Each structure stands twice: as structure tokens, then as C-alpha cells.
Amino acid sequence: MVRRVLSAIVVLVLAAPLYAITTKSMADGLSVAELAAMMTGPGATISNVTLTGSGSAIGTFTNGGNLGLSDGIILSTGNISDAAGPNGNTGSGVGLGAPGHPALDAIVAPFKTHDAAVIEFDVITATPTFSIQYVFASEEYREYVDSEFNDVFAFFVDGGNIALTPGAITPITINTINHLRNTNLYRDNGDASIDTQFDGMTTVLTAVAVVEPNVTHHVRIAIADTSDDILDSAVIIARGGISGVQIAPVIVPTTNLVTVNNLESVQVPLDVFYANVNTQAQLTSSGLPEDSSVSFTPFTQDAQGFIHSTMTVNVGPTTPAGTYVVTITSHAGEATSSSIVNVVVNCTPPVILGTGQPVGQSVASGTRATLNVTAQGSSPKTYQWYTGYTGMTFSPITGATGPTLITPPLGETTPFWVRVTTPCGSTDSAPAFVTVH
């Protein structure tokens, strides 16, 4: 497929931008030491930095403004100087004549990549987590979403890509975060409201790997055009965005809504990201009444290497019916991460079955009668029998707290009734007359 890129400049009436991105590339004289210093964040030590690709495609930026990142480093499939805004050209880009990258080819197969820019380095972290804070931006948005021009980047840590769509295992490309899917992670720049030339970009994202602390790990950051080298993309990394500060595992419930009855339990499978089975993290919950509780299983790893836990919700006997927003919070040191599950307590008020329960009887003077009711509704059910007419609660019968009442010996005709109660409410029976003859 051949693309023609319009070279005409779209005329826009724009006020002077509040921010003006400035860049300095390796071709402009930026040193590797300066690049490493700009990347390195707290808790991380970076060494042995090597670069592959055009010198004009790798460098630093300042005055990032409303990109979400004020300054840091850029890897581009074109010249990083083209990142400066505003967005006045619907087809900005340049072919650099650089080769693609085999590991990126594997992500976008069967298509091939071009103009790859790569930074590789070793890193030692002080904690079991390694993170990169970044934005992915491109001129391929929106026109070439779901096409073969699926520009791609990756953060390989010890060979595994951690640049994945949050809450999923999908590599981030033009086709996985855009105006059609994962829209909460996408920012459109068709109106030039963001001070950069790129037509669209992700929100600020964080890629995380679980690593062994105080041990050297190898990192490779790579970006490339897919299928052709015309329109450019870039990965923009925050100053100090490569860090070893501990973060809390991200807990992703496999469902956001469960239904459960009183005195019953329901299990919610949880996918766990940025953790392994040895991660020292605590899970807590909030949002349920005191008589209900939540428990969590230890982290486990499946055959594919993914981490899971299970949340069990135990609903108490007096929890009222309704929807409860249960917040799950993971704690790792001072770091926290939260997610929610909606728990619907399906509480059913009591209903006395049949017609005319309890049924009146006739007994001889001085003898007892046996009255019964059958009720349905949420557990637990409680019963209280009374003498008199329905609603007259001033004459409760001591100890008469079950579905069956054995009356005391009777010497005159007497009415009896029962109130059945569940956590969801109460219902009263009609009076049953025991006639004495």
C-alpha cells in the first residue's frame, strides 16, 4: 500500500503557545552522559548507555507544557525537533533511512518496521520495582488507526516488554490506544490544543517491571515506524522517569459487579500487575457494613506467568439490601493503588406462603393448639408470636420465636399472630383464632 502525504500546511489561527517545546538531539552535540542524567530517577542507577539510530532521532526536551511531562528525553522515528508545536501540519514526518528493529517487527508481524531509534542501558534498582513514566505520540493518529501503519514502541526489561496497555497484556501501538479503543488513555490533538506537532498521544502512562533489587538488569527502549517511514511517532519519557521507587501492585478485578445474599459469600478473581508471588504487599478493603467482611488469597502465578489473587466477600446477617462500592487497596511500603468492585446485596423481604397462615383451630377447653407458618425471604429469619390482633405487639409470647407455636392450655377463644423478620424487613400474619369448646 502506498500513502501520499499532503505537504500543504493547514492554516490555523492560533494564539502564541503558552509553552514552546525545545529539543536537543545527539546530532546537536548532546552527550550520552547528559542523556543518562536526564533519564535517571530516584532509586535507579543507570550505566553502559548505548544508542542505535539517527542522532537526530534521540535527545532531550524542555518546556513540555501540556504534554503532561515538562521535560525529559525523546526517541522518535524522525527528527525530534519536529515535536515542537503547535500542530500545524496533518502529515509531519521524515524518512531517516534507518533500519527497523527485529523485536518490534515481532510485535507488528507480518509487517516490518523502519527508522528504529534505540537506547540500551543497564540499571540497578533499590526496590523490587522498576518503572518508566512516558507518553506515546504520533502523526499516524487518527487517519491510520487500524491500518498497517501501526507504529510501535517497546520497553524491554531483561527481554520482556513492559510497555503494555494498563490492565491488559497488549503492547501499546497506534492500533491499541486511540480514539476508538482505550479512549480514556488517548488525547486527540486535531484542534492543536496540545503544544506539539503530533496529532494524538496517550495520557501519561507508567510501565512497571518486577525485578530483583540491587542486581543489574538490561533495558532496551525502542521505537519504529511500521510499513513505511513517512509519518513519525515518538516516545516521550519524563525527566527522572526511569526510577526504582517502590510502587504498589495494581489490582484489576475480572468483574466490576457481583450479587450476593445475606449470610452468603461470593468470590471475585483478581488479576495482579506489577507483582510476583513474593511481593510484600497487603490488600485491604472498605465500603461494606461492619457485619460483612472481605478476605484475600495470597498471590499465585499461573502457567503463563500472570499473577492472581481472589477476593471473597462474606455478607453478614444484618447487611441491608443495596449496592456497595467496595474499594480494594494494595499497600507496598508507603505506596498504594486502588480499584473498585460493586457488591449488590440481594436482600429479599419475608413473605408468608399460602393463604390464611396460620390456620385457626378448635380445641377442647384446657388443651393446647399448634399453629404454623411457612415463610420465604433472605436469611436469617426471626419469628415472634403474639396474642391479640395483627399489629398488637404489647402481648408477646415468651420463647415463641420459631415458625411453630404451641399455645399454653386455653380456656377461652384467643387470637394469635406472628411477625417474621429478615435483614430486609418484616411481615405480619393475619390473626388465627383458636376456638375453645
pLDDT digits 0-9 by tens, 322-333? 889 999 999 988
Question: Looking at residues 63-91, what average pLDDT do you find?
Answer: 82
Greater confidence (270 vs 19) lies with: 270
Rounded Cα distance between 284 and 327, Å, is 8
pLDDT band at 195 (very low <50, low <70, confident <90, very high): confident
pLDDT at 14 over 70: no
Which of 186-195, 261-270, 285-294 shows the lowest mean pLDDT across its residues? Answer: 186-195
| Structural domains in the chain, sorted by start | 22-243 (no CATH), 250-345 (2.60.40.10), 351-436 (2.60.40.10)
Asked whether the predicted pLDDT for residue 48 surpasses 70, the reply is yes
Q: 101-160, pLDDT tens digit by residue? A: 999 999 989 999 999 999 999 999 988 888 898 999 988 888 889 888 878 899 999 999
Residue 13: what pLDDT?
32
| pLDDT band at residue 88 using 50, 70 and 90 as cut-offs | low
Which of 42-51, 105-114, 115-124, 186-195 comes out lowest in average pLDDT? 186-195
pTM exceeding the 0.75 threshold for the entire prediction: no
Q: What is the mean pLDDT of the chain?
A: 87
Under the banding of pLDDT at 50, 70 and 90, the label for residue 18 is: very low
pLDDT category of residue 36 using cuts at 50, 70 and 90: very high
d(CA 324, CA 337): 19
Answer whether residue 4 shows pLDDT above 70. no
Q: What is the pLDDT of residue 87?
A: 65
Mean pLDDT of 13-35: 75
Q: What is the pLDDT of residue 10?
A: 30
Give me the pLDDT at residue 9, please. Answer: 28
Mean pLDDT of 164-168: 76
167 vs 102, which has greater pLDDT? 102
Q: pLDDT at residue 199 above 60? A: yes
Across the range 235-251, mean pLDDT stands at 87
Q: How confident is the model at residue 90 (pLDDT cuts 50, 70, 90)?
A: low
Quick one: pLDDT at residue 317?
A: 81
Q: pLDDT digits over 203-238, tens only?
A: 888 888 888 899 999 999 999 988 887 888 899 999
Q: Is the pLDDT confidence value at 357 over 70?
A: yes
pLDDT at 28 over 60: yes
What pLDDT is stored for residue 412 in this prediction?
Answer: 95
Average confidence (pLDDT) over 360-365 = 94
